[in-house]
Amino acid sequence: MWRDSSSLSILPAWRSRLLVMLLLLGMIVLAVRAIYLQGFNKDFLQQQGQSRYSRVIELNAQRGKITDRHGEVLAISAPVKSVWADPQKVSVTPEQIQALARLIEMDEEVVRKRLLDQRKRFVYLRRQLPPEIAAGIASLNIAGVYLKREFYRYYPTGEVAAHILGFTDIDGKGQEGVELGWEDVLTGEHGSRRVIKDRIGRVIESVEKIRSPRPGQNLALSIDSKIQYLAHRELKRAVKINQAKAGSVVVLDTQTGEVLGLANYPAYNPNQRSSIRPGKTRNRALVDVFEPGSTLKPFAVAVAMEVGKINADTLFHTSPGLLKIGNRTIRDVRNKGTITASQVIQESSNVGAAKIALLLPPQTFWEMLSRSGFGMPTGLSFPGESTGVLRPYHRWRPIEQATMSYGHGISVNLMQLARAYTIFAADGQLRPASLLKQDVVPAGQQVISRETAQAMSRMLEMAVQPGGTGMQARVSGYRVAGKTGTAHKPLEGMRGYSKNRYISTFVGFAPVSNPRLVVAVMIDEPSAGQYFGGAVAAPLFSQVMSGALRHLNVPHDALGNIVTSPLPATLRNEG
């Protein structure tokens, strides 16, 4: 039966009114909610909106630069860009992946996996890029791939000052040397700023700077770059000529205690971090310890003179070139007969030094060595510095006290040895050592009297003159004082000493009339035939001291002492 279809669309009146009321009620609720959010709780909407386009990004602080005493840059940070990605936002074509992989020199498949790893929100693709490569990446306009501003640490002197400066890791944190030891000074404080990004993550507007980055402080070292280069060059040459395992040189200013040069070899280039090996990063002059050999004899003689046990002319019988103490025997290279205390230093007599040490109460000798800085830090605050070993005097046996007079049974680092010799160069005062440039010269500690120091200076000068063991340490135009040292290396993990492995040393100062520099040299395991300190270490001392004095324009004090070529090896390569 047919019905009019229009009658089906007519709703009952009550239903129509209910529908209209519900619509009006909904509109009222929405209006009230809008008024509430926009008028009374607008912060919520602003936060939600900003979270979708506003971001706070970190501003890296620039690390402080390191300079030498004259302002020459030794380490500096240069701004670079690193490329990273948020895989959850990445939208990339195969062509873009191919182009990106080519720019960052990475396998295309590796790049694809990193970009599309949905488990991560942050992944580095390449750190510290050259500006031209960073510009090329930016031009690809890959959604979810970003460039981050960082700093690359650069060392203009390369391996020359590597053991002093150390290096930083890729995040700019100090790992070795001054970079590690003065991390708190060099590191700045990172800042931040609020930016607006578009839908693919590009910064389109900088809104505000929340906190400005605070750059790290600059650091002025005491090092003189020219003296540092000289020390490195001559040390490298000496290690190679003597076919040695390693070597170190320290140059100290006797008037201020500042370290003007500190070189080690083998070295490494801190600009090539991927090639750095742990064994080469060690600053041997401060970290490694060794038995100093005959370079310690002046301290035994000095304290004996200081307490009135001997004078420069006191005679000692060393025949027949050996001295028995219990069941042990101390030997000289040859029979030196009857010699004075001065000749004990000049000819480097082990027997004579042992007899002088045995005249002293153990405590007196120990106090002299301790006041000279042995067995304690040098004050440089260098990371990993060793204090060496100076055993308590109440544990000494007579043989140990005797052998300690010529540097066996005690261990030191080269910086300690160099610093200790400032006693003889600075009228008996032990100078505080410093790796930082000093504006005010700190006071030294009086260890021995001025008279004893001057007497020791005359004895040490005799050691580099004809008849002495250190003739090859002479410097043309200058009076030089110093002492050779040759010590057998202790056997590793065993008692006793190696028969054919040596440490060759020389420590001295110049010019004697008004000392300006102390130079200490150590050559580890020379194996080219010569091993005595007078033949191996003394020539290196001469080259470094000569160049450093000329660089500093120190006046000559021995115009008659003109040496135009290296001196030949003498028969008295002892100590």
Which of 284, 357, 358, 347 has its CA nearest to residue 321? 347
Distances (CA, A) of 483 to 159, 176, 406: 29, 32, 11
What sign does the CA torsion over 319, 325, 326, 332 have? Answer: negative
Helix or strand (DSSP H, E) at 136: helix 131-138
Q: How far apart are CA 540 and CA 230, in angstroms?
A: 11
Burial of 489 (0-12, 13-18, 19+ CB in 10 A): middle
- What tokens were used for 562? 């003109």
The residue from 77, 248, 294, 457 that is catalytic is 294
Q: How far apart are CA 403 and CA 359, in angstroms?
A: 13
For every residue of 339-375, DSSP letters joined together read EEHHHHHHTT-HHHHHHHHTTS-HHHHHHHHHHTTTT
> Roughly how many angstroms between the first and final C-alpha of the chain, as a whole number?
135
Peptide bond into 526 cis (omega under 30): no
405 as an active site residue: the answer is: no
List the 54-59 sheet strands across, edge first. Answer: 54-59, 191-197, 203-211
Instruction: Judge whether 307 and 286 are in contact, CB under 8 Å.
Output: no
In 422-552, alpha helices (H): 422-425, 450-462, 533-551
Q: How far apart are CA 28 and CA 30, in angstroms?
A: 5
Residue with tokens 């506003």: 54
Q: How far apart are CA 73 and CA 58, in angstroms?
A: 28
Phi and psi at residue 13, to the nearest 5°: -60, -40
How many residues are given for the chain?
Answer: 575
Instruction: Judge whether 509 and 254 are in contact, CB under 8 Å.
Output: yes
Three-class secondary structure of residue 472 per DSSP: helix
Q: How far apart are CA 167 and CA 382, in angstroms?
A: 14
For the annotated catalytic residues, the residue numbers are 294
